[in-house]
Amino acid sequence: MESEGLKLIAVALVMGLGTIGPGIAIGILAGKALEAIGRNPEATPKIQTAMILAIAFAEAIAIYALVVALIIKFV
């Protein structure tokens, strides 16, 4: 019974800590991309492509955290 409670705490910690980093990273990426587009609007397609790719990589880390949380919960 106590083991189940510890599992839930571990899941909460993994998801909480595993999504803070990507959330901050995506916010910084989007802010810097908008700043760059504001300074050089002609470069919008190149900046936007690089931004979307970087956001996808940051989001992948949050997905890894979700997978680890699910493994902890169900194993």
Chain center to CA of 5: 26
Do residues 47 and 36 lie in contact, with contact meaning Cβ atoms separated by under 8 Å? yes
Do residues 73 and 7 lie in contact, with contact meaning Cβ atoms separated by under 8 Å? yes
Q: What is the chain's alpha carbon radius of gyration, rounded to the nearest angstrom? A: 17
pTM: 0.82
Domain ranges within the chain, ordered by starting residue: 2-74
Percent of the chain with pLDDT over 90: 93
What local confidence, expressed as pLDDT, does residue 41 receive?
A: 96
Class of domain 2-74 (CATH, top level): mainly alpha
Q: Report d(CA 43, CA 35) in Å as an integer.
A: 12
Q: Is the pLDDT of residue 21 over 90?
A: yes
